[in-house]
Every structure is written in structure tokens, then in C-alpha cells.
A and B are shown apart, each in its own frame.
Chain A
């Protein structure tokens, strides 16, 4: 008898509880970004200045990643709703059907550099022939940029040794002579400079002017289930990007807080990054074309892919308003 009444009460509570929980609690959005990547400053600004909350959404940081491909694996595992990530790994993941995400806005253009040792004999890109160069991972924006630079400047790729190192390890490896050069996102090139370890051989601006770099992506399921939240998120992103351009000093302070690096380094790094939310369709087509030539993804029609991959509507509406 006791058991029966207990069960009745339990079930009644359960029935009462479930809908009320669903009604009251607003599910927070799970966001991911790359560790110490100053390109993604807009994400940190939006978190720090409360732009997400102001636009009516709760955001929870569900992952901080060392490189883009890792973040895309988290999308594949269903562990993220939205993320700040490089356009190349996002393209590779979608083209290889590993993750289903859509680009909602640009985060930055440019902002990477090839760095060599301070006293390096490598004075020109062509001197990289036969040298050991570190990239943050295959199919990262930097892998793409390095290959593009080698083709553009006609560098002999035979005998060049490209190795994978995570950006936080690159400066140490350059200092100890284990690598001759690295290509990384800011603030690592700036950090190599301010530490007196390295010098910039070539900025990504010189490799490909105005090249798109990081993007704000959303998982397709999140986008279809919570379109209003996706809009709010893009609004917060636009606001944060404008904030960086208008309130540079405060943005620098937030950059210092999230990267843990010193102010001169962050200032120097931010000079090489263009913060913009404007999407670059031609840039994405170039990524698709190049990635398929590198055999990272299968050959496909870039235009058809980009139509599916980039949502221009949400950002377009917000900018209009």
C-alpha cells in the first residue's frame, strides 16, 4: 500500500514537473571557440560584455579547442550548438559529411603569418625550400595559406617537411631549433616577436589579400530547432564586432584576459586581423576549390556547396535593420 501511494505521488510529481521544467528553463546555447585565437575576440567580447544575454540568449562555453578540426569533431559528436572556427576545417567537415553546420557570419579576415627564427637565414619565402615548417593541423586555414604561399611564390615543395604542432608549442619549437618556421593564427606570430624568438616572414595579407578566416557556424539541428536563438546570436556577434572596431582599448583588455598574453602582444596581434562580419562568398568558393585540389575533400561544384553551406539571409536581415 505504502509503495503504491509512493509511486502515485512520484508519477504525479514527474508529470507535473516535466512540463514546468520545460517551460521555465531556457536552454543555454553550447558554444565553442579556439584557445587563445585573437581572431575570435568577438566571441569573448560578447561573453564579457553580456551581448548574448542582452539579445535574449544564454550561452555556455562547452569547449575550448586547440585547433579547428578538433572543434569540428565536437560538432560531429553533437557536443556544440554554435562555434567560432576556421572556414577551412568547417568546409572540410561538411564536405566530408562528418558534421552538419552552416556558416552564419564572418568573424575575421586575414590575421595569420609565417614566422621564422629571429636570426634565421630564411629571408625570403623561397628560402623555405627544404626547411621544416609547422602548421596547426591539416585542413586548417593555415595549412591552406601555407600551400597557397608555396604555389604563389613558386617555392620548391620537394624536400620541405611540413609537420603538425599545436600553436602553443610552436614558439618553443622554433626557439629550440626543432622547426625552421611556423604558420599560425595571431597572437602567436606577435608573441614570437615580443618574446624576441621570431620575426614575421610573410603575413597572410601578403599571401591572399582579404582572405576569409574564421566564421561563426551553427549546427544544422540547432538552426532548424531554434532559428530565433540563431538570429539573436548573430545580432550579438555583429554588436561585438562593431565594439572591437569602436572601443579598441577595451577590446584589447578582453583579448588580454582571454589569451592570458601581455598587452603589447595583443595590440600587435590585433593590428594584423581585420574584424568583420561580412561574408565572403568568393573566398569560400576558393576554399572549396583548393581543398578538393589538395584531395582533402571530393571534387564538387563550389557554387552549389556554398549555397548550402552559407546562410546569408540571417545576417542580411540583421544588417538591414
Chain B
């Protein structure tokens, strides 16, 4: 057990709690760690708005991310493989991608609401936009970076295109695809919270929960909500790392 990694966070927490106790840090601007934990308890027991409990907020948010992310994977990986394999297709598609990629997903919110209304579809669309480009670009770069010798060797051995795809191209690109997926889901998760700020139909979602806590002026619950968002982000990333290490065993 490497205990030294806990020294800094624990010291910071203690200093923070101490400064809050002697009122150097005003609680309406930054509640103390203890107060945030009580806020977390309130989110679990009373809910925000009262009645809507934290676990459901988290589940709804995860559901939205799962849908948006699934679409990003479904479109991003095949298109990325095709673009990686064909320089001509890359030349044709790249200008559009380069134009759309720098637009922040959040800038799409008003259009998303116009196209898909308030709720699930528009949130999923925003998350899709956040996750799609990292997945696509990493897939392309994964394919492009495969050593051409492998393709030549396969061709020399009379491998059919199908076999080259499954035995050389796909395995060669998988590590990079996973990097894209991890970045994509991370951006998707960050975007989700902001997407939920604009309105949800179900009354659930972590972003919606935080905005409601702001409405009711509970900074402790806002920070507790942020903490949960961070923790879930870490969990998603670790889950993807585990999948990656299982699938990409040869690395």
C-alpha cells in the first residue's frame, strides 16, 4: 500500500475544514468538507428537488451517456476504419470533419433542442457530438500508424481483404480505438452535465440536480453533486481500462 499518495489530499481536506471552522472560508461560497458530506446525505435521503433521490439522478445521467456514446462508437469506429484504410476517402471527408470538430458540443444545444426537443434525444445528441470526434480521429490514426510491412506480409501470404481487415487492420487499430473511446466517454460525460442544465423532461439527471440545488441555494449539495460526477467519471474510465486490458492482451 502506497500511503504517501494520500498525504496531500488529506492535508488539504484538514486545512479546508479548519479554515471553514474558523470562518476564514465563508460557508455560502465554499462549504466545509463535513458540510458537503451532510449535503451528500441530504441528496441520498431527501433528494433534490425534494423527492428526487441521488441514485436515480446518476442512473438517468448514465443512461443518457450510454445512448450517446453507443451511437458515437457505432458511427465513429466503422467510419474511422474506412477513412484509415482509404487515403482518398480521408481526403474527401476530412475537410468536413475539420470544420465540425472544433465546434464545442455545447454550442449545439440550442439547435439540438430545436431538432430533438427537450430531453433524452437532445442530451444524447450532445453527448454523441462530444464522444464522436475523439473516437473517429483515434481510430483513423490507429489504422494509419500500423506498420505497412504487416499489410505487405499478409498480401504476400495471399490473405484475402476480409482476413487483412480482421487479422491486421482491426487488431492494429484497437489500442488507439480504446484511447479514443476513453477520451470520448470522458468528454461525453462532461458535456452531459451541461446538456442537462438546459432542461430535462424526466426531472432526473446529475446536471439537473446541481441546477436545482442552485435554485434552492444549497452550495453543499452542489459540491456533493460535483463530487459524485467526478467519482462516476473515474469509475467509467477504470471500467474502460479493464475492458481494454482484457481485449488488448498482446500489448
What is the interface of chain A, defined by CB distance below 8 A to chain B? 67, 69-70, 72-73, 76-77, 89, 92-93, 96-99, 132, 137-140, 161-165, 169, 173, 176, 178, 294-296
What is the interface of chain B, defined by CB distance below 8 A to chain A? 27-29, 46, 49-50, 117-119, 199-203, 208, 211-212, 214-219
Q: Which of A69, A76, A178 contacts B215 (CB 8 A)?
A: A69
Residues of B within 8 A of A67 (CB): 215
Residues of A within 8 A of B208 (CB): 164
Q: Which of B28, B29, B199, B218 contacts A164 (CB 8 A)?
A: B199
CB distance A132 to B201 under 8 Å? yes
CB distance B117 to A295 under 8 Å? no
A92-B216, A173-B118, A296-B216 given; name 12 further pairs at CB < 8 Å. A69-B214, A69-B216, A73-B214, A89-B217, A98-B217, A98-B218, A137-B215, A140-B215, A161-B202, A163-B201, A169-B199, A176-B117
CB distance B117 to A93 under 8 Å? no
The closest CB in chain B to the CB of A143 belongs to B215
Q: Which of B27, B50, B219 contacts A295 (CB 8 A)?
A: B50
The closest CB in chain B to the CB of A294 belongs to B50
Q: With contacts A69-B214, A76-B217, A164-B212 known, is A97 near B118, CB below 8 A?
A: no
Distance A178 CA – B119 CA, assembled complex (angstroms):
10
Q: With contacts A97-B28, A176-B117, A295-B50 known, is A163 near B215, CB below 8 A?
A: no
Distance A138 CA – B214 CA, assembled complex (angstroms):
9
Distance A260 CA – B145 CA, assembled complex (angstroms):
57
The closest CB in chain A to the CB of B48 belongs to A138
CB distance B212 to A138 under 8 Å? yes
Sample 19 A-B pairs with CB under 8 A, ordered by A number. A69-B214, A69-B216, A73-B214, A73-B217, A76-B29, A77-B29, A89-B217, A98-B28, A99-B217, A132-B201, A139-B217, A161-B202, A163-B118, A163-B199, A164-B208, A164-B211, A178-B117, A295-B46, A296-B216
- Write the nearest CB–CB distance from A164 to chain B, whole angstroms: 6
The closest CB in chain A to the CB of B110 belongs to A169
Residues of A within 8 A of B217 (CB): 69, 72-73, 76, 89, 92-93, 96, 98-99, 139
